[in-house]
Homo-oligomer: A and B are copies of this chain.
Amino acid sequence: MNAYVTPVAGGAAVFAASPLVDFIRANRFDRPTLVLSREIVARNYRALKAGLGRADIHYAVKANPAREVIETLIAGGSRFDAASRGEIELCLSLGAQPGHISFGNTVKRASDIAFAHAAGITLFAADSEMELDKIAGHAPGAQVYIRLLVGATGADWPLSRKFGCAPERAVGLMDHAVSLGLAPVGLSFHVGSQTRRAGMWRDTLDQVAAVWAGARAAGHDLSLINIGGGFPAFYGENVDAPTEYAARVMQLVRARFGEVERIMAEPGRGLVAEAGVIACEVMLVSRKSDRDMHRWVYLDIGKFSGLAETIDEAIRYQFVTPRDGDAMGPCIMAGPSCDSADVLYEKRPVMLPTSLKAGDRVLIRNTGAYTSSYSSVGFNGFPPLDVVVI
């Protein structure tokens, strides 16, 4: 009955029941459009919160800064993690309390620190001396937590070494913070994007707990553990349900940190990915040569208009077409721009109906996170990904 719903294992039920599909079926869109559901955002928040218990959820605004998402989360009781002055201004303008916003980027412009301090924000991240110097200079007396660089986990997208200091530097940075009049209150880390199983947190938490014990032994009376993000969304491989997943992570946290005063979690993807579906269109289906095993399928959305997370084929989106009952064959997928790097999946082709053709509508599932905000301002003259919130 519903041509857009295919029997995909795991998560299919949620998709079939989604108000998103009904809305998309009932509407036409002139250009690629992300449709977001407030209802699913609110439901995901409640589900994660049920598992996280007394931990505070600080939504990672960067995952999707749509104002309706922020409003829905404020109404649900969420707090926020901001990457920039722009995100802080957004949250404040929609009614978030300054005390509920952390400035979690370890790379901050000095004037933005001053802005945050003046706005009443008191909690900042750092992983280096120079950042602590900037915080002390522009937010005197602030609380800081030190971000740790932790070893590789089983995450689908392990993080680079960009953020965090080596464990052996943490106590020195806390000493430096104290010498500057700052209050080093705790530690943060990131287990890696899209960590599909709660058990994958174990090794990382062990590493952090060792640093925690060392800092306390050195006289730092820590009160805050920030467990970051990593909460997964469904992209075709099974993931645990959010409440169960979060509860297991909290069990692992409690076993190592006991009754620590304050626990923060920063889900982004885990809160909003499944609240969005992109409606787009097939532009072209072709073969390069008569000997080609694969067809090329070109969509009207690509790496530079919302699907940036296909870089290195890291996130593998699920595609739904009106012809999914037909015979399937392997395809290389690409975006519409005149840019040879705008190829979505080539190393691991995607199975799509052999009958697919230009003009067919394609839905891309679970695209509520890290899509619209990555979109370019207008590369190749294509407008940014449109967003409709229902």
Contacts and interface: CB of A to CB of B under 8 A. Distances in A.
A62 B342 CA distance: 14
A284 interface: yes
Interface stretch (A8-16, A84-92, A114-122, A219-227): A84-92
Nearest to A127: B286
Contacts of A346: 160
A341 B290 contact: no
A83 B160 contact: no
Contacts of A289: 165-166, 168-169
A338 interface: yes
Copies of this chain per assembly: 2
A128 interface: yes
A30 to B, nearest CB: 9
A311 B383 contact: no
Contact of A162 (B285, B343, B378): B343
B380 A83 contact: yes
Interface string A62-97: 100100000000000000001111111110000000
Contacts of A342: 162
A109 B299 CA distance: 10
B290 A169 contact: yes
Contacts of A304: 308, 374
Given A127-B286, A283-B107, A341-B311, A87 B380 contact: yes
Contacts of A258: none
18 contacts: A62-B337, A85-B381, A88-B381, A107-B298, A109-B336, A130-B284, A130-B285, A131-B286, A134-B358, A162-B342, A162-B343, A165-B286, A166-B290, A169-B289, A308-B376, A373-B377, A374-B376, A376-B377
Q: Which 5 A-B pairs have the closest CB atoms?
A: A86-B381, A166-B289, A128-B286, A87-B381, A84-B381
Given A85-B381, A166-B291, A168-B290, 9 more contacts: A65-B381, A89-B381, A90-B381, A105-B338, A110-B358, A130-B286, A160-B343, A311-B311, A373-B379
